[in-house]
Amino acid sequence: MKCSKDGEFTKGELSRFGNIQLSPSAGVLNYGQGVYEGTKAQRKENGKLLLFRPDQNAVRMQIGAERMLMPSPSVDQFVDAVKQIASANKRWVPPPGKGSLYIRPLLMGSGPILGLAPAPEYTFIVYASPVGNYFKEGVADLNLYVEEEYVRAAPGGAGGVKSITNYAPVLKALRRAKSRGFSDILYLDAVKKKYLEEASSCNVFVVKGRTISTPATSGTILEGITRKSVMEIASDQGYQVVEKAVHVDEVMNADEVFCTGTAVGVAPVGTITYQDKRVGYETGDESVCQKLRSVLVGLQTGTIEDTKGWITCIN
Ligand code: PMP
C-alpha cells in the first residue's frame, strides 16, 4: 500500500514474499523513518485462525507514525491487511500448540530524500512467517541482567513508540548479556538509572503479595498490547494493579517478576542480576505469572471463551 506525503493510502495488493526496491536515498534507509508492529495468528482445533487485538496494533502504529511524522493507514485498512495476510498464508500456520503465524506490519518513508526531512512517499507492507513456540518445552524461567551502561530510551525520544530506530542500539547490550548466560536485559531509566523500564522486547511486572506493579508508560517504554491485556486480566482476578515508577530495589525485593509481549506471552523471571547481587523469584504452576499466562494463552488460542471482544476470527 502506498501513500504520498499528505494523501490517503491506496488499496494494497497481495504479492509473493520477495525483495522490494528502494531508492538508496529512501527516508527509511537514511533517517530511520519507519515504525513496525508484530502480532500472531493462532490456529484453532476447528481450523479457524485467531488474531489477538489487531486494532490495538493499528492504533499503536498510528501513534508511532505521528511521532515519526508519517501518514498512517486507517485502523480498518491496517486490520484488513493483517486479515488478508493471515488468510492468504493459512496453510503455513502451524497446528494448535505447535506455534503460530507471526505477522509483521511495517510502515516506512520509502520515497527519496537527501536533506533531513520527511520522505515524499510512504509504503505500508504486511508480511508473515510461521514461528515455533517461544519456549520449546514448557515454560522456562528467564534470567535477566540489569543493564547500567546502555539505556534504551531517553525522555522526549522515540522509546514510547515502535520505531525501527529503537532496536539496533539494543543489539550490543543484548549480545553482551547473552554471552554471559542471561536471557535478556532489564533497562533502567536514562536519568536516574534507578527505575525499571522494560526488557529488550517485552514489558515487565513485579509482584508483591496481591499487588502487581509495572512501570508507567511515560514515553520511554513501549505500551505493550500484552501488557495492557494482562493488566486487565489481573484486575479481573482481584489483584491490585499499579502503574508507577518501579525502583530497582523494589524489583530485587519482589516475590515474583514476569515479562509480557507478543513473543513471550507472559513469561516468568527466575533470577535478576543487578550489580553484584543475584536474586531468585517464585515461579512454577502456583505463581501469579502462571495464572495470568494460562488465561492469556487460553484467550489467544481459543480454549477460553472470548468475553472481552479481543479475538478476530478468520474462517
Ligand atoms: N517492549 C518492546 C520494546 C517491544 O518491542 C515489545 C514487542 N512489541 C513489547 C515491549 C511488548 O509489546 P506487545 O505486548 O505489544 O508485543
CATH number for the domain harbouring residue 218: 3.20.10.10
- Looking at residue 218, what is its pLDDT? 86
Q: Which of 106, 131, 156 is the last residue of a domain?
A: 131
Measure CA 175 to chain center.
19
- CATH number for the domain spanning 118: value is 3.30.470.10
> Where in the sequence is the domain holding 244, given as residue range(s)?
142-301
Q: Which of 69, 103, 131 is the last residue of a domain?
A: 131
SS3 167: coil
CA of 303 to the centre of ligand 1 (A): 24
User: Ligand 1, closest atom to CA 56?
Assistant: 15
In the structure, what pLDDT confidence band is assigned to residue 171 with cuts at 50, 70 and 90?
very high
CA of 173 to the centre of ligand 1 (A): 17
- Looking at residue 133, what is its pLDDT? 86
Same structural domain, 291 and 191: yes
Same structural domain, 122 and 185: no
Mean of all residue pLDDT scores within the chain: 95
What are the counts of helices (DSSP H) followed by strands (DSSP E) for the chain? 7, 16
**ipTM of this predicted complex?**
0.99
The mean per-residue pLDDT over the stretch 205-220 comes to 96
Which residue is associated with the grid cell 523513518? Answer: 33
Whether residue 201 has its Cβ less than 6 Å from ligand 1: yes
192 is an active site residue:
no
CA of 164 to the centre of ligand 1 (A): 12
Examine the pLDDT at 5 and tell me if it is beyond 60.
no
Examine the pLDDT at 7 and tell me if it is beyond 80.
no
| Interacting residues of 68 by C-beta distance below 8 A, sequence separation 6+ | 33, 34, 35, 109, 158, 161, 163
Same structural domain, 148 and 288: yes
C-beta of residue 196 within 8 angstroms of C-beta of residue 220: no
Same structural domain, 96 and 238: no
Interatomic CA distance for residues 13 and 96, integer angstroms: 29
- Looking at residue 281, what is its pLDDT? 96
In the structure, what pLDDT confidence band is assigned to residue 138 with cuts at 50, 70 and 90?
confident
The mean per-residue pLDDT over the stretch 41-50 comes to 92
In a domain, 137, yes or no: no
Interatomic CA distance for residues 313 and 49, integer angstroms: 6
pLDDT per residue over 67-118, tens digit each? Answer: 999 999 999 999 999 999 999 999 999 999 899 999 999 999 999 999 999 9
Whether residue 226 has its Cβ less than 6 Å from ligand 1: yes
In a domain, 283, yes or no: yes
Name the phi and psi angles at 54, rounded to 5.
-65, -25
Same structural domain, 197 and 57: no
Amino acid at the residue 24: P
Whether residue 227 has its Cβ less than 6 Å from ligand 1: yes
Closest to 82 measured CA to CA, from 40, 123, 42: 40
Question: For the chain, how many structural domains are there in total?
Answer: 2
C-beta of residue 127 within 8 angstroms of C-beta of residue 37: no
